[in-house]
Amino acid sequence: MNADVCCVRDADAAALRREARACKQKLEEVVRTTHSGAVRTVPEPYDAEVAAARMALRQAYVALLIACPFTRGAQLVDSMIWADTTYSVIAALRAYLARLEREASAAPTSKGDAPKSERRSAKLHGLERVLRDLRRFIGEELVFYESLTARLVRLFDLREARPIVEGLGLLRGGGEEGTASPETMDLAQVPAYRHQLFETLQRLLTYMGDLHRYREMHAVLPPALAPRRRGAGGEPAPHDFGAALRFYHEAHLLLPDHGNPSNQLAVVALFVGDTFGAMYQYYRALCVRVPFDKARFNLHRLLDKALESWLACASRDDILTAWRQASFEDSPARRVPIPQVSVRWDSAHEWLTLFVQLHSMYALQADLDVACVLNEALLRQLLTLTDAHELRAVDYLRILVTGICASWTARLWRAPPSSRLPFSTGAPYSRHVNASALEEHVRKAWETMLVTHVLGLLAALFVVVRQELVTILQAQPSSSEPQLLPVGRVLRRTLPAVRIGLKWVKGHLEYIHACRAHATHAAEELQQAVDQATTASSLATDGVARLACMQRGVDARCHSFWSAFVDLVNLIRAAYPFDLLPNARDVDEAGTVYVHVMEDDDVRDLGPIRRTMHPTDESQYAVPTQMRADPAQAGSDYARILDVLVDTKVMAEFDTCGLAFSDARGLFMVRAAGDDADDPIDLAMKAVEAGREAPTTTGAWPPAEASLSTGSWPATNQALASVWGWTGPWTDSAAPVPWPAPAAASAAGADAAAPTSPAHQGLSASPRGWPT
């Protein structure tokens, strides 16, 4: 396209933009006054003059979008269509509804002396009329946006988006889309301009999701003024936001590296009372290439409320009491041990509520010492959730992704949004440490704590999977040929989260190693200041003492993670021999294999893991295709296992990784501080000297035949923790943490009973992408 044609297009766009501005001024004038010039007090979207002015403005905007979509004058014109001709009307009607609702609540119900127009019945009648107008308007707007979306897809041949648009039922029948000029069609094939069309398409889908959400929110009269619709049991039926969620989810899948749809999903989650789901969606809206900036404000507003709730929680007082009691315990050099609290939550909902409150402390940088203890308690409870309240596969994934995103944003946002004390009680600063130096220590401590939080979540998942794998392997006859064992229910439920978590570890080996080294150095420096204290009791309220205590624990937690990881990956290799896994032959020398499973479409573009996710062979515009056959052709579970093993082998090649692969022994082992793998005999001797069971988890793995016949299986994680001299939240007893027996198969596909053969593990006919 030559310069002359470009100039012509810019001139056309400028003319259309001037026409649109004139139409907008006309609409504002009409809305503001009636024919007689009186100021309007009630919005009237169906007033003939208002409707005519609004449609004139809309036609000018649509003409600009279709005729000159790639000019500067047409930038974000779809947003102008929404703001000036749709949302402005909806906002006015909703504001008027709120005013009528307040007036109806305060209006008298009996005749009395009140005029008829002021009685509650009259107010309710007006409320119902405005509700009808709003629902009618929303229905008409949905028709318009559906037709505009179909027009863009057909006019510019957006073939990559057709599966999404057809799945939403937006390409029904034909239509008079007209034709674009040859120059415009040529420009539509330029990658940058084509991506611009997909951004417009994503916003249109989001607008339709908003319209469905508004329609459901105002489906009936407010419950305080009229009986709600009743469900099957006579109780008020909940709002059904299924249509809105579907549009938001498909908008997210259209361009997963844009955050706007995730923010809207968070709005729905908040409306139905799912605070954890809202927090997850806000983080997802922020940790992408094109973040939705307002989501940060929304997230901190949510977390502010969670923190206020935590400050009034009795559990906080229990933790503060535990810190004070810990200061009087005998310990080397008067070092305060990190206390543990005996607290349990009766349901997964309560656990998730405390999880949100924990992240409110992380994000707002308040109560550092309390957050450390609460984190340990939550990890301990994660292992013992009763079967009646166990978490779903998508819950495990979201918990882990939330921790990953919180760690990511903690590095991006250096300062908290408000000034809060970093410690719960006592003096936040010590007279022995410079204030600015301590502030830097505290900032780094928050980052390090988030790293150990993610590693702790992963280690907890490793433990719950370990028991199931041991049981499955013990049940196999000793004379059986090597074969792929079925994927157990616990492994299936946690495997997506484990795989994504290891992607994060793989991409942050240097960062994890740096945090570990910094914590060790900081603990020594802070302890020197702490040792100047005259009495042990002063450590209970000294922030520096607590900070030194927490920093000392980082090294032990990292050791525990790598040891649990080694334990798990060796078990996986025994249960699922690499050579028997589907597509194992496709792994190249660089350790690359193409794996595409359900959760990838949902999280692959998150900033913390984007570089370690597998490249796709799909459109460069990040538009996923409809669900296709699993690439491993034997089930997504085996594809995930293959990917975990490949990533583990790749990580083992790096010196900063905490595990190494021994070619001589054919197993993974914990890497020692000197970058040499731990000798299992040395570990056994240490355990004998300590009077404890030898941890064979990091030693030579026994042959499968011998293990099955003699019952020589890896020791429990209690023994593993004893070697490292640390008792973590999942090592309180010598026996492995029992996992509840499987409950009846739920409706969730991730919780279905394990198939008996790989052939039965293909993808289900569930909706495309990971459930949102």
pLDDT of the residue at 734: 31
Nearest CA among 599, 684, 595, 682 for reference residue 641: 595
Residues 372 and 477 in one domain: yes
Give a yes or no: residue 480 inside a domain.
Answer: yes
Instruction: Average the pLDDT over 7-13 and give the result.
Output: 67
* C-alpha–C-alpha distance, residues 209 and 242, integer Å: 10
Instruction: Average the pLDDT over 124-129 and give the result.
Output: 80
pLDDT digits (tens, 9 = 90+) for 249-304: 999 989 999 999 999 999 999 999 999 999 999 999 999 999 999 999 999 999 99
Residues 20 and 106 in one domain: yes
Q: Of 3-12, 265-274, 444-453, 734-743, which gets the smallest average pLDDT?
A: 734-743
pLDDT of the residue at 596: 79
Residues 156 and 57 in one domain: yes
Give a yes or no: residue 400 inside a domain.
Answer: yes
HSE-up of residue 532 (Cα within 13 Å, Cβ side)? 10
In the three-class reduction of DSSP (H, G, I as helix; E, B as strand; rest coil), residue 99 is classed as helix
Q: What DSSP designation does 670 have?
A: E
Residues 58 and 199 in one domain: yes
Residues 602 and 490 in one domain: yes
Residue 67, burial from CB neighbour count under 10 angstroms (0-12, 13-18, 19+): middle
CB-CB contact of 595 with 631 (8 Å): yes
- pLDDT reading at 5 higher than 70: no
pLDDT digits (tens, 9 = 90+) for 648-689: 999 999 999 999 998 888 889 998 754 444 444 344 444 434
* C-alpha–C-alpha distance, residues 732 and 377, integer Å: 12
**Beta bridge mates, 668:** 661
CB-CB contact of 545 with 525 (8 Å): no
Residues 214 and 329 in one domain: no
In the three-class reduction of DSSP (H, G, I as helix; E, B as strand; rest coil), residue 264 is classed as helix
Output the six-digit token pair for 578. 């690499």
What stretches of 383-461 adopt beta strand conformation (E)?
none
- pLDDT reading at 731 higher than 80: no
Share above pLDDT 70 across residues of the chain, in percent, rounded to a whole number: 71
* C-alpha–C-alpha distance, residues 762 and 752, integer Å: 12
Residues 6+ apart with CB under 8 A from 571: 466, 469, 470, 473, 714
Residues 166 and 18 in one domain: yes
CB-CB contact of 327 with 539 (8 Å): yes
Output the six-digit token pair for 197. 């069309």
Residues 6+ apart with CB under 8 A from 681: 699
Tell me the one-letter amino acid at 234: G
Tell me phi and psi for residue 262, to 5 degrees. -65, -35
Q: What is the mean pLDDT of the chain?
A: 76
Give a yes or no: residue 299 inside a domain.
Answer: no
Residues 619 and 743 in one domain: yes
Give a yes or no: residue 549 inside a domain.
Answer: yes
Q: How confident is the model at residue 313 (pLDDT cuts 50, 70, 90)?
A: confident
Residues 512 and 409 in one domain: yes
* C-alpha–C-alpha distance, residues 267 and 211, integer Å: 13
12-26, 78-92, 374-388: range with highest mean pLDDT: 78-92
- pLDDT reading at 247 higher than 90: yes
For 729-743, give the DSSP string.
Answer: TT-SSSSPPP-PPP-
Output the six-digit token pair for 435. 């204030």
SS (H, E, C) 711-727: CCCCCCHHHHHHHHCCC
Q: How confident is the model at residue 540 (pLDDT cuts 50, 70, 90)?
A: low
Output the six-digit token pair for 552. 């000392």
Give a yes or no: residue 274 inside a domain.
Answer: no
Residues 620 and 698 in one domain: yes
Residues 6+ apart with CB under 8 A from 728: 376, 379, 459, 556, 557, 560, 721
* C-alpha–C-alpha distance, residues 693 and 700, integer Å: 15
Between 729 and 583, the more confident residue is 583
Residues 441 and 545 in one domain: yes
Instruction: Supply the pTM of this predicted model.
Output: 0.82
What residues make up the domain containing 530?
313-337+347-760
* C-alpha–C-alpha distance, residues 402 and 398, integer Å: 6
Between 237 and 201, the more confident residue is 201
Give a yes or no: residue 342 inside a domain.
Answer: no
Residues 250 and 327 in one domain: no
Between 671 and 587, the more confident residue is 671
HSE-up of residue 172 (Cα within 13 Å, Cβ side)? 6
Q: How confident is the model at residue 172 (pLDDT cuts 50, 70, 90)?
A: confident
* C-alpha–C-alpha distance, residues 593 and 586, integer Å: 6
Count how many domains the chain has.
Answer: 2
Give a yes or no: residue 301 inside a domain.
Answer: no
- pLDDT reading at 736 higher than 60: no
Say how far residue 367 (Cα) sits from the centre of its chain. 24
Give a yes or no: residue 304 inside a domain.
Answer: no
Q: H or E element: which one contains 600? A: helix 598-603
